[in-house]
Amino acid sequence: EAGVTQSPTHLIKTRGQQATLRCSPISGHTSVYWYQQALGLGLQFLLWYDEGEERNRGNFPPRFSGRQFPNYSSELNVNALELEDSALYLCASSLYGQPQHFGDGTRLSIL
Amino acid sequence: DQQVKQNSPSLSVQEGRISILNCDYTNSMFDYFLWYKKYPAEGPTFLISISSIKDKNEDGRFTVFLNKSAKHLSLHIVPSQPGDSAVYFCAASVISNFGNEKLTFGTGTRLTIIP
């Protein structure tokens, strides 16, 4: 069974640009979650999508947004990039009541 | 407000002995708890979970204990193996009508198994 896949592995942008990160969940999983791990900080919850709907979002500004497609894949968009957005962005998927399983992340670097 | 705390940043254990990792939480609404292992440059790998209706769950060498009155959980690894060297995160969530709400993570404990 294929795990959660994320693309790209690395992404380099400059301040003010926009970034798009993609996630394919484990087959059959309907929920997708996004987390940020900035340097020196822990894993922080960003967004939760289930059945195409945004169910919850963490304490992040509105320039962090995303969506979930009918095939349950998801993308995370970050607009007006700032230096502090440099981080590892992790995607996870799960079924109802089951553990979340993570991909290996996208490393976003802002120059 | 750190709702999930791992007070030991690091732990060293001799190969073959028991490793005990601890985690405390403050939010009494949490009803599902998980442990993840993380290697550098990889995403967290799910190890074991426990629902708040249980106080123990075992899976092979891994056992998780939950003490709801103390708001404390622990992960026991027996016997410890060199491949267990990694950073371990505990996490907690609430299960709502739509499924697992967000995971709230502790800050991690770096476990080193000494051969």
Tell me the per-residue pLDDT of B7-61, one tens digit each, with 9 for 90 and over: 999 999 999 999 999 999 999 999 999 999 999 888 999 999 999 999 999 999 9
Tell whether A95 is within 8 A of chain B (Cβ).
Answer: yes
Distance separating alpha carbons of residues A60 and B68, to the nearest angstrom: 31
Distance separating alpha carbons of residues B66 and B57, to the nearest angstrom: 9
Residue B98 has pLDDT above 80, yes or no: no
Average pLDDT per consecutive 10 residues, chain A (111 residues; last block may be shorter): 92 98 96 92 92 93 97 97 96 91 97 93
Percentage of the residues of chain B whose pLDDT score is greater than 90: 88
Six token digits for residue B58: 């075992």
How much is the pLDDT for A42? Answer: 86
For B46, the closest chain A residue by CA position comes to A101
- Residue whose tokens read 């896949």: A5
Neighbours of B51 (CB within 10 A): 12
How much is the pLDDT for B100? Answer: 75
CA distances from A40 to A44, A87, A92, B102 (A): 12, 10, 21, 21
What is the phi/psi pair of residue B13, to 5°?
-135, 140
- Residue whose tokens read 């998927």: A93
Out of B36, B100, B104, the one facing A97 most closely (by C-beta) is B100
Distance separating alpha carbons of residues B88 and A43, to the nearest angstrom: 12
Out of B46, B89, B95, the one facing A101 most closely (by C-beta) is B46
B104–A45 C-beta distance less than 8 A: yes
